Every structure is written in C-alpha cells, then in structure tokens.
Amino acid sequence: MKRPNDVILRTVTKVAVVIILTFSIHLFISGHHYPGGGFIGGLAFTAAITLLFLVYGIDTIRKNISVDFKAVAAIGVLISVLTGVGGMMAGKPFLNQTSGPVDLPLLGDTMLATAVLFDVGVALAVIGTALTIIMSIGDDH
C-alpha cells in the first residue's frame, strides 16, 4: 500500500498530543470543583492516544506503550472500589469521603480530598475500556 503524504498531520500531531494530554490532566484536576473529572479527563486522554493510533498506526503505539489496557481498566475500577472500602476502614459507611488541608512541601497548604483517588480510578477505567474497544475494533483487518 502506498504511504500517504501526511507530513502535516504528523507534525501537528506531535504538538497537539502534548496539548491534549495536558488539557486532559487539567480537566481531571479541575473536576473536583468545576466541570470535568475522571470520566471526561480519561476520555480526553483516550482522544490523544487515538490520534496517535490514527497517525502512527496501532502497532507502533503498542510497541511503545506495552500496557494491557484491559488490566488498566480493571485496576482503575479496583482503585475506585478500594477507596470506598477505605471509608469502611475508618468506621464510616462504604464510599464515605473526606477532605482537608494538608501542609505539603513546596506546595504549602493544599486542600486534598479522597474523592480524587476515586476519580483516578474512574479515569483509568475509562482509558482502559475506551482503548480496549478502539484497539479491538481497529485490529480487525
């Protein structure tokens, strides 16, 4: 098959992927108080990887990111469930959450919330599921 001339696409992708990934992390973090969160952040992250699939081909990306995305999804859900169990360990109901200011080095007085851990799980689950679907459909030729 003749390789298409996609210099522009490749060049733009190299820059765009970095921007999308950064934006996905921004979406993820801002989700605690503003629109965003694990689900949307995870989808934006998936969009970046999908762009890489489209431009460089699934095989190339798989060589560089050799992760089993099914396992990523499972670990994500596991993290989310275990944060719920964490509430039980503290003698509170399942899925109980807490937050409070913590004095971190460099960052100073920072507000930390256990809900973010839950969101990390959600993000991983979304990334794992979406990429598994895309890869299994994309591989089918």
Partner 1 sequence: MNNLIIGPIIIPIIIGLVLVVCRNSLGLHRFLSLLATVLIGLAAVLLLEQIRTGGMQILNLGGWEAPLGITLVADMFAVLLVLVTALIAFCCLWYACSSIGMGRERHYFYPLCLFLIAGVNGSFLTGDIFNLFVCFEVMLVASYVLISLGGTKIQLRESIKYVLINMISSFLFLVALAYLYAITGTLNLAHLSIRVAQSGQGGLMTVVALLFLTVFSLKAALFLFYWLPGSYSAPPTAIAAIFAALLTKVGVYAIVRLFSLVFYHDLGATHLFIGALAAASMVLGAMGAVAYDDIKKIITYNVVISIGFILAGFASFSLVGMRGMVYYLLHDMIVKALLFLSGGTVIHLTGTAKIREVSGLIRLHPQLGWMFFIAALSVSGIPPLSGFIGKVFITTGVFQSAYYWLGGIGLFTSLMVLYSVMKIFMNVFWGHTNLTEETEKGTTQGLLPPIVVLTALTIALGLGAEGIHEYVDLAVEGLLNPNLYTDAVLAQNGK
Site stretch for partner 1 (CB under 8 A), options 27-35, 46-54, 82-90, 105-113:
82-90
Q: How far apart are the first and last CA of the chain?
A: 14
Instruction: Supply the minimum distance, in Å, between the C-beta of residue 95 and partner 1.
Output: 4
16 binds partner 1 (CB under 8 A): no
User: Which region, left, alpha or beta, applies to residue 14 given φ > 0 means left and ψ of -120 to 50 means alpha?
Assistant: alpha
Site stretch for partner 1 (CB under 8 A), options 29-37, 50-58, 84-92, 101-109:
84-92
DSSP string, 44-82: HHHHHHHHHHHHH-HHHHHHHS---HHHHHHHHHHHHHH
Element (H, E) at 100: strand 99-104
95 binds partner 1 (CB under 8 A): yes
How far apart (Å, rounded) are the C-alpha atoms in residues 7 and 70? 32
Instruction: Supply the minimum distance, in Å, between the C-beta of residue 124 and partner 1.
Output: 12
Question: In this complex, which beta carbon is closest to partner 1, that of residue 43 or of residue 74?
Answer: 74
Number of residues engaging partner 1 in binding (CB under 8 A): 20
What is the pairing mode between strands 108-113 and 99-104?
antiparallel
Site stretch for partner 1 (CB under 8 A), options 6-14, 19-27, 55-63, 69-77:
69-77
Question: In this complex, which beta carbon is closest to partner 1, that of residue 30 or of residue 97?
Answer: 97
How far apart (Å, rounded) are the C-alpha atoms in residues 117 and 103? 18
Q: Which of 12, 71, 104, 112 binds partner 1 (CB under 8 A)?
A: 71
Residues that bind partner 1 (CB under 8 A): 68, 70-71, 73-75, 77-78, 81-82, 84-85, 87-88, 92-97
